[in-house]
Amino acid sequence: MSDGTSAYTQPVQATSDILLDINDLVVHFPAGRRGMFGPPSKVHAVDGISFRVRRGTTFGIVGESGSGKSTTAQAVMRLIPATSGQIVFGGDNIANFRGERLRLARSKFQIVFQDPFSALDPRRRAGELIREPLDLLGIGSPRQRDARVRQLLEEVGLPPQAADLFPHQFSGGQRQRLCIARAMAPEPDLIVCDEAVSALDVAIQAQILNLLKKLQCERGLTYIFISHDLGVIQHFCDDIAVMYLGKIVEQAPASVFFSAPCHPYSWSLIAAAAPPGSLRNRLKQGYLVKGDPPSPVDPPPGCRFAQRCPFVIEKCRNELPILKFTGPDHFVACHRTGDAKPPDFSAST
């Protein structure tokens, strides 16, 4: 299965060209009423986030369940309607696209989901599944489509005979390869990976991560990579946004984020994922938050993280902090930046 190619030696085709520019994206869901005559409640799934993704890079979104990572992914894919905001993809605001125009635009952005068991139609053969996007988008002649299916199978490391098998005849890792082949079929510029490796065993996870990276190096693909696993995020992403209850609380290039994170929530995530040892114990004592993330239905005013934050002050409970520039490409939404003591990652002491 694995080819262990030397694709990694190739320079990555990262550019400063902005492929995707998300501007103040808001996604609210109705959540019934409080009481029979009360005001209607809203789930603030995504509450005004903005970020830019450079062509050829990987933009990582990390956060716990309920933080709005998957809603962001689905809104960017236009799978759920955005309440407001702009989604500028390759120069066009696709948030306003409808009908045929949206359908055709979709060939340029594709998604790979977490669970490869429920993402594939069990009654169709692998070859048909990969071919489906080509048929729907009318790409190439029928003969070219067949050739493309064979080529895609090879690219994702599946044998040509796999085309005649049904999804249940594949293992989890192979099914995820099928999902990737299907996403690759219309030659998209952007692939959103929504927890694409989270359901896989570690050995298989490494295979899929290597495959995604190989494809990125070969084709200059851009990824939005959503995960709760900071180890995977660090390995895979160029830029990172940390989400908490629908807001981006910190955004930075990966190298900056893992050497000098600024938000208390980032500190907590890092403390929970730090490799075992004295450093981990020290981080956990000082920075790991207690409790569970609160519900995103009608969040209180002030900082969303205030309830769990070990560094909370009165101002945090009343006033929502905005994302502020703290360094090149580094943005933090916290009232106590520069004030609360950041963790020390040096192994000694």
Partner 1 sequence: MAPVLSVQNLSVSMKGSKGPVPVLENLSFDVAQGKTMALVGESGCGKSMTALAIMRLLPEDFTVTSGSIVLDGEDVLAAAPAQLRGLRGNKMSMIFQEPMTALNPLFTVGDQIGEVLRQHRKLSHRDATEQTINFLKAVQIPAAEKRVHAYPHQLSGGMRQRVMIAMALACRPKLLIADEPTTALDVTVQAQIFDLLSQLQDETETAIVLITHDLGAVAELADDVAVLYAGRCIEKGTSHEVIAHARHPYTRGLMACVPHLHLGPTTRNARTELEEIPGMVPPLGARGLDCAFLPRCTFAGDVCRSQPQPPLDIVDAHAAVSCWRHQEIAP
Window 284 to 323, contacts with partner 1 (CB under 8 A): 284, 288-293
Q: Distances from the Cα of 117 to the Cαs of 121, 171, 173, 224, in angstroms?
A: 9, 9, 10, 21
CB nearer to partner 1: pick between 89 and 236: 236
DSSP 23: E
CB nearer to partner 1: pick between 3 and 135: 3
> Of 40-48, 160-168, 272-280, 314-322, which segment contacts partner 1 by CB under 8 A?
272-280
- Contact, 270 vs 345, CB < 8 A? no
Question: Which position among 120, 274, 309, 340 is part of the footprint of partner 1 (CB under 8 A)?
Answer: 274
> Residue count at the site for partner 1 (CB under 8 A)?
55
Question: Which position among 78, 177, 228, 263 is part of the footprint of partner 1 (CB under 8 A)?
Answer: 228
According to the binding rule CB under 8 A, does residue 222 interact with partner 1?
Answer: no
Output helix, strand, coil percentages for the chain, rounded to the nearest 5: 35, 25, 40
According to the binding rule CB under 8 A, does residue 161 interact with partner 1?
Answer: no
Window 242 to 261, contacts with partner 1 (CB under 8 A): 254-255, 258-260
CB nearer to partner 1: pick between 26 and 206: 206
According to the binding rule CB under 8 A, does residue 131 interact with partner 1?
Answer: no
Identity (one letter) of the amino acid at 111?
I
According to the binding rule CB under 8 A, does residue 213 interact with partner 1?
Answer: yes
> Of 37-45, 47-55, 125-133, 277-285, which segment contacts partner 1 by CB under 8 A?
277-285
According to the binding rule CB under 8 A, does residue 226 interact with partner 1?
Answer: no
According to the binding rule CB under 8 A, does residue 204 interact with partner 1?
Answer: yes
CB nearer to partner 1: pick between 135 and 344: 344
- What does the alpha-carbon distance between residue 300 and residue 302 come to, in Å, rounded to a whole number? 6
- What does the alpha-carbon distance between residue 16 and residue 273 come to, in Å, rounded to a whole number? 31
Cα-based torsion angle of the residue sequence 126, 217, 92, 196 in order, rounded to the nearest 10 degrees: 50
- What does the alpha-carbon distance between residue 189 and residue 110 come to, in Å, rounded to a whole number? 8
According to the binding rule CB under 8 A, does residue 345 interact with partner 1?
Answer: yes
Nearest approach, Cβ of residue 185 and partner 1 (Å): 24
Q: How far is the first Cα of the chain from the last one, in angstroms, to the nearest whole number?
A: 45
According to the binding rule CB under 8 A, does residue 206 interact with partner 1?
Answer: yes
According to the binding rule CB under 8 A, does residue 231 interact with partner 1?
Answer: yes
Angle between helix 172-184 and helix 202-219 axes, rounded to 10 deg: 20
Cα-based torsion angle of the residue sequence 52, 90, 107, 193 in order, rounded to the nearest 10 degrees: -10
Nearest approach, Cβ of residue 93 and partner 1 (Å): 31
- What does the alpha-carbon distance between residue 210 and residue 279 come to, in Å, rounded to a whole number? 29
- Radius of gyration of the chain measured on its C-alpha atoms: 21
Which residues contact partner 1 by CB under 8 A?
1-2, 4, 8, 12, 64-65, 171-173, 201-207, 209-210, 213, 217, 228-232, 234-236, 238, 254-255, 258-260, 268-276, 279-280, 284, 288-293, 345-346
